[in-house]
Amino acid sequence: MNHRAFTHLDALESEAVHIMREVAAECANPVLLFSGGKDSVVLLRLAEKAFRPGRFPFPLMHIDTGHNFPEVIEFRDYRAKELGERLIVRSMEDSIQRGRVVLRSENQSRNPFQSITLLDAIAEFGFDACIGGARRDEEKARAKERIFSFRDEFGQWDPKNQRPELWSLFNTRTHPGENIRVFPISNWTELDVWEYIGRERLEVPSIYFAHQREVIPRNSGLLPVSSLVQPGADEHVESMMVRFRTVGDMSCTCPVASQASNVEEIIAETVLTRITERGATRMDDQTSEASMELRKREGYF
């Protein structure tokens, strides 16, 4: 039998497309979470591969913390428009206005509170499945998560009460009020994502590429100067070439020093890097050994 070569990216892609089609076929009212970040950019291409020449059988949704990088928001709107798919935006600002979220200070990280706005939006639209771009290699709590991750009426993840997942037979059944988080790129690593972006020639927000930026060295990271982050009395601002490995809340997402100006150079750096994606870039995951696990149990992704 003379097969054409089937690369690891082909295998991961086929698996993810299969997962998306299962969601579309079995869930009554799914939604795809699109933030403009690189993982969700990959999800959109996978959705195109799964459903074109048809339209997506679900809308896109973004939970806007109000702390997002402007380049990413601009890209989010541009990409949704280019695809001609419906984009729902629900903002944490509204949750704050309505008293659902109470912040201690304006500039604190809004990551932990995303869950509230997300759960409200799920209830508002009656979504029974949310497709997200989380990957198991990101964090140890994620390593133990299912591809179809069941959440109870309170949106909570109960690590000891997960449904066994065998072969690719996914149990998508829910009772009213419950929902499932679906992670089609669970088995992808940061390197796989960049190789796929390269292979598919996908556009990503400009801040993923090296650019000159003012940063404050703090703890072991570089915090980007913004309206939310200003240097303290004993801190100094440096201007240097950096890129972001993840794009999250502006108050706690750190860039890394880099000269990589295109996808090939990012892939080369990713192969060589000795620090995990979250270890290098997320100050909020370093507060305790189990911070991601705890946030997930409260309804976070």
Partner 1 sequence: MSVVENVGLDRAELLRFITAGSVDDGKSTLIGRLLHDSKSIFEDQLSSIAHTSSKRGMEKVDLSLLTDGLQAEREQGITIDVAYRYFTTPKRKFIIADTPGHEQYTRNMVTGASTANLAIILIDARKGVLTQSRRHAFLASLVGIPHLVVAVNKMDLVDYSQEVFERICADFAAFAQRLGLRSIDYIPMSALLGDMVVERGDRLDWYSGKPLLELLETIDIEHDLNTKDFRFPVQWVCRPQTEALHDFRGYMGRIESGVVRKGDAVTVLPSGLTSHIKEILFYNDALESAFAPQSVTLTIEDHLDISRGDMLVNSGKPPRTIREFDAMLCWLSESGFDPRRKYIVKHTTRMVKGLIARIDYRVDVNTMNHEMTDTLSMNDIARVGMKVQLPLVVDTYVNSHGTGCFILIDEITNNTVAAGMICDSED
CA-wise closest residue to 150 among 186, 168, 175? 175
As measured in angstroms, the least distance from the Cβ of 37 to partner 1 is 20
**Rule CB under 8 A: which of 50-79 touch partner 1?**
50-55, 57
Nearer to partner 1, 126 or 159 (CB): 159
Using CA atoms, how far residue 172 sits from 27, 55, 115, 221, in Å, is 7, 22, 22, 40
Which of 28, 237, 268, 294 lies at the binding interface for partner 1 (CB under 8 A)? 294
Whether the bond between 70 and the residue before it is cis, its omega within 30 degrees of 0, is no
Which of 256, 263, 280, 283 lies at the binding interface for partner 1 (CB under 8 A)? 280
Number of residues that bind partner 1 (CB under 8 A): 67
Nearer to partner 1, 124 or 264 (CB): 264
End-to-end Cα spacing for the chain: 43
Structure tokens of 218?
Answer: 């703090």
Nearer to partner 1, 144 or 227 (CB): 144
Structure tokens of 191?
Answer: 């390197």
DSSP character string of 60-121: EEEEE-S-S-HHHHHHHHHHHHHHT--EEEEEHHHHHHTTS---SSTTS--GGGHHHHHHHH
Strand, helix or coil at 258?
A: coil
- Residue 187 contacts partner 1 per CB under 8 A: yes
- Residue 137 contacts partner 1 per CB under 8 A: yes
CA-wise closest residue to 141 among 117, 124, 158? 158
Query: How far, in Å, CA of 141 to CA of 147, rounded?
Result: 13
Q: For partner 1, which stretch binds (CB under 8 A), given 75-83, 163-171, 226-234, 249-257? A: 163-171
Which of 28, 123, 257, 275 lies at the binding interface for partner 1 (CB under 8 A)? 275
Nearer to partner 1, 11 or 28 (CB): 11
Which spans of this chain sit near partner 1 (rule: CB under 8 A)? 1, 3-15, 17-18, 21-22, 24-25, 48-55, 57, 136-137, 140-141, 143-144, 159-160, 162-169, 171, 173-175, 186-187, 189, 191-192, 195, 199, 273-276, 279-280, 289-290, 293-294, 297
